[in-house]
Amino acid sequence: MSSASVAFLWHMHQPFYLDRTTGEISMPWVRLHAAKGYYDMISLLEDFPEARATFNLVPSLITQLLAYRDGTATDRFCECSRIPAAELTSDQRKFILREFFQANWENMIRPHNRYWELMHERGFKLYPDTVNEYTIDRFNTQAYRDLQVWFNLAWFGYRARKRFPVLKELIRKGRYFTEDDKHEVLSIQMQVIGEVIPLYKRMQDRGQVELTTSPFYHPILPLLCDSEIAWRSMPGARLPERFRYPEDAQAQIRAAVAYHEETFGKPPKGMWPSEGSVCPEIIPVVAAAGITWTATDEAILAHTLKCHNIYEHLYFPYKACYGGAEVDMIFRDRGLSDMVGFSYSRNKPKEASDDFLYRLRQIARAHWRPDREPLVPIILDGENAWEYYADGGEEFLSRVYENLSMGDSLHMTTVGDFLARHADRRYIDNLYSGSWIGHNFDIWIGDPEENDAWNCINRTRKFLKQYEERWGDSAPRLARAWEELHAAEGSDWFWWYGPDFTTDNDPEFDRLFRMHLQNVYKALEEEVPHYLSTPLLRKTPAPVGHVPMSLIRPRIDGRITDFFEWQGAGRYECARGDKAIALGCRYLEQIHYGFSTENLYLRFDIDTLSGIRSEDNTVKLQVYVIGPQLHRLTMPLYFDAAERKTFTIEQSRDGVTFEMVQECETVGWKKILELSVPFAALRLQPGQRVKFFVSLKNDRVEMMRFPREGLLSFTVPDEHFEAEMWVV
């Protein structure tokens, strides 16, 4: 009788959103997916004790789950949810209306009448000015509270709703939620998050699941070993400056294995290389870390074997060899895996599960041999697919697990168990270099944005290595700096660079990438290079702040002498409900910027309501002006402590070291901080495009930077500026 073993490998992963310097997790997806996919997928197996599965848990995901559990980190979405609805500020209400509909509309919003009503009232398309003062005033306190509850309630999966009946009661209630209702939802959410990792460990110890790992921060291993490996599958591609650090691949794998063993009590035997990215050079690195098996996509096998019918070769394990090392390797059935991930959600669960089981039996009949049982690897994302199933995938998975648990011609297995029971291998010594997407590395390298990002990592790594050589590998905070560099090597940032994929959160992913590199310098208390403050995105973003509309000539006296003196200037609101406000140290409320044809004028409205602490006397305000040359303006934030009210102008040729240009007295501080600087001192000519940002630093670190979402910009005016703006 023909038979086959079926090995599910569910890959659980999220980008590393955590900023270790602040404890802020900028996006809510680790928390929300924990209440849904991470908890659903492991706890569902408790209903099917004969079922077996492999779960690949990326260490950077585990790190964030434990940070939530231990209360050492939180996210802005969670904090906005906790605030009593009656106490929400205008900025917080705008944030909620913009962000709290980030869920699958068809399956997570439309089925709930109240949530759908709020969505309809807000509007389905978000234009730059959709959420304005008029919009937020249309919603009363109860509406905001209902939205706070629904955003978190809708993300609970079927297993949490089954375990906590109060969640179903609140879903039935639907509206008029109380603050106590909201507190209960958030409390249960944190309880579920706290149970996720222990539940995976318990199921491992029971022998029902195998737990595997990926390189710590999910990097593309071949590109760490040598970026020019990309040419093997992308001949002629335009690549960045060569990045060749196989030791980083080793470090990411070793750290993952050690962290996995610390978390789950035993080292992993298997590894899903990030994005299924492989090349021969990673085989010795993986084997040296104690990993005995790994996996990738069927297209890699097809190109390795140079065969036309991959299904004649797919359902058996291989041993990949290189440099005297070897590792077992399996290859995913792309068609079946993608059906689960992308197609079955559009069908009725019974029809979908019947089709899936039929296909598996067909494979068993076609490939079974008396001396060899086929292995069917179903490998896919274990979290994102379930948003597209009307019931979160519960019925589909339950039907599949129930049928496979009967053990007639199909048997569920973990990958490790199958490999231990079947010793026969086919050997390959010419493993093709590529990933699970397009059997190449095009998603992560070759586009100008992607290449710029690789060059940023390269420059930062060279700086870090030079620092280590100068001060020794035991220098304080050096380990933390390396952690931040490795976090920037993660594949997720490159996924959103370039033309392949886009999201409304592209600017945030760009910021996070540069934040990790900035944190390398901050960890070592070194100056952050200006190029890490410049967004890498080349897509046209929405403008930051309000641009100047007319020439101005204010009196620099530290007072708003006349209502009209800053009329027509550009403006940026610093108090935007971000981490600065949460810390109670905004310092700046607004930045105004404008110009005459001769001078640049800057005005800073300072937040003095919360009082000035003693350490504030060390805070410096610095303005980085990026034109043909980089200039920096520096002054104390609070001039009361300064003997003379002056600011300095410095210039830089390399973006790191600065030389003094001149000291200026055209500054005033009383109610506001104002200054004037000649364009000539900045070597700027009419028509040149200029960008700038503002940094607040104390004696040790950079405390804040504005704008958070990019740079302010303007064009140096000439005598025709006002006429041109009038036409605009």
Window from 72-86, 551-565, 640-654, 676-690 with minimum mean pLDDT: 640-654
Q: What is the pLDDT of residues 423-438, one digit of tens each?
A: 999 999 999 999 999 8
Q: Tell me which residue of 155, 156, 149, 154 sits closest to 181, measured CA to CA.
A: 149
pLDDT at 545: 74
Q: What angle do CA 670, 672, 678 make, to 5 degrees?
A: 105
Residues in contact with 194: Cβ distance below 8 Å, sequence separation at least 6, in sequence order: 69
Q: What is the 3-state secondary structure (H, E, C) of 319-365?
A: EEEECCEEEEEEEECHHHHHHHHHHHHHCCHHHHHHHHHHHHHHHHH
pLDDT at 671: 81
pLDDT above 60 for 500? yes
Domain boundaries 1-70+199-446, CATH class? alpha beta
Q: What angle do CA 703, 461, 281 make, to 5 degrees?
A: 140
Window from 101-105, 149-153, 598-602, 653-657 with minimum mean pLDDT: 653-657
Backbone angles phi, psi at 638, to 5 degrees: -115, 105
| Look-up of token digits 């302010």 | 712
The Cα 504–Cα 620 span in angstroms is 34
pLDDT at 699: 72
What is the model's pTM? 0.82
CB 496 within 8 A of CB 502: yes
CB atoms within 10 A of CB 182: 22
Q: What are residue 677's DSSP bridge partners?
A: 600
Residue 576 has which token pair? Answer: 């935007």
The Cα 159–Cα 41 span in angstroms is 9
CB 350 within 8 A of CB 399: yes
The Cα 268–Cα 61 span in angstroms is 16
Q: Ranked by mean pLDDT, which of 103-112, 469-478, 648-657 comes out on top?
A: 103-112
> What is the DSSP pairing of strand 599-606 with strand 673-678?
antiparallel
Q: What is the pLDDT of residues 402-431, one digit of tens each?
A: 999 997 899 999 999 999 999 999 999 999
Q: What is the pLDDT of residues 14-49, one digit of tens each?
A: 999 999 989 999 999 999 999 999 999 999 999 999
CB atoms within 10 A of CB 357: 16
The Cα 69–Cα 76 span in angstroms is 16
CB atoms within 10 A of CB 270: 23
Q: What is the pLDDT of residues 159-208, one digit of tens each?
A: 999 999 999 999 999 999 999 999 999 999 999 999 999 999 999 999 99
Residue 148 has which token pair? Answer: 């706070």
The Cα 147–Cα 182 span in angstroms is 10
43, burial (CB in 10 Å: exposed 0-12, middle 13-18, buried 19+): buried
CB 637 within 8 A of CB 620: yes
Amino acid in position 360: L
CB 139 within 8 A of CB 374: no
Looking at residue 9, the DSSP 8-state letter turns out to be E
- Give the confidence band of 580 by pLDDT, cuts at 50, 70, 90: very low
pLDDT at 705: 78
Residues in contact with 189: Cβ distance below 8 Å, sequence separation at least 6, in sequence order: 31, 35, 152, 156
CB atoms within 10 A of CB 335: 11
Amino acid in position 618: T
The DSSP H or E segment spanning 697 is strand 689-697
| Look-up of token digits 């800053």 | 566
Q: What is the pLDDT of residues 329-345, one digit of tens each?
A: 999 999 999 999 988 99
pLDDT above 70 for 639? no
CB 548 within 8 A of CB 572: no
Q: Name which residue leads in pLDDT, 575 or 692.
A: 692
The Cα 69–Cα 73 span in angstroms is 9
Q: What are residue 130's DSSP bridge partners?
A: none
Residues in contact with 655: Cβ distance below 8 Å, sequence separation at least 6, in sequence order: 529, 530, 531, 630
Q: What are residue 669's DSSP bridge partners?
A: 673
Domain 448-533 has CATH 2.40.50: no
The DSSP H or E segment spanning 693 is strand 689-697
pLDDT above 70 for 616? no
CB 606 within 8 A of CB 558: no
Q: Where in the chain is the domain with CATH 2.60.40.10?
A: 570-727
Task: Give, in order, the Cα–Cα distances in Å from 328 to each of 12, 313, 407, 423.
Answer: 22, 15, 26, 10
> What is the DSSP pairing of strand 24-25 with strand 74-75?
parallel
Helices 179-205 and 59-70 meet at what angle, rounded to 10?
A: 130
Mean local confidence (pLDDT), 693-710: 76
The Cα 55–Cα 51 span in angstroms is 13
CB 436 within 8 A of CB 337: no
Q: Is 314 helix (H, G, I), strand (E, B) or coil?
A: coil
Task: Report the number of secondary-structure helices (H) and strands (E) in the chain.
Answer: 25, 25
pLDDT at 479: 95
The Cα 728–Cα 722 span in angstroms is 10
pLDDT at 539: 65
The end-to-end CA distance of the chain, in Å, is 78
Backbone angles phi, psi at 640, to 5 degrees: -60, -30
pLDDT above 60 for 567? yes
For the domain spanning 570-727, the CATH number is: 2.60.40.10
The Cα 491–Cα 7 span in angstroms is 25
Exposure on the CB side of residue 158, measured as CA atoms within 13 A = 16
Residue 23 has which token pair? Answer: 């404890």
CB 174 within 8 A of CB 192: no
The Cα 450–Cα 329 span in angstroms is 29
Q: What is the 3-state secondary structure (H, E, C) of 637-658?
A: CCHHHCCCCCEEEEEECCCCCC
Q: What is the pLDDT of residues 309-318, one digit of tens each?
A: 899 999 999 9
The Cα 566–Cα 557 span in angstroms is 13
pLDDT above 60 for 577? no
pLDDT above 90 for 542? no
- Give the confidence band of 703 by pLDDT, cuts at 50, 70, 90: low
Task: Give, in order, the Cα–Cα distances in Å from 323 to each of 210, 356, 397, 675.
Answer: 28, 40, 41, 64
CB 374 within 8 A of CB 311: no
Written as one string, the DSSP assignment of 544-584 is: PSB---S------SSS---TTTTTT-EEEE--SSSHHHHTT
pLDDT above 90 for 77? yes
Mean local confidence (pLDDT), 238-256: 98
Q: Tell me which residue of 607, 619, 582 sits closest to 23, measured CA to CA.
A: 582
The Cα 381–Cα 392 span in angstroms is 14
pLDDT at 727: 42
554, burial (CB in 10 Å: exposed 0-12, middle 13-18, buried 19+): buried
Q: Where in the chain is the domain with CATH 3.20.110.20?
A: 1-70+199-446
Per-residue burial over 677-693, b = 16 or more CB atoms within 10 Å of its CB, e = otherwise: bebebbebeeeeebbbb
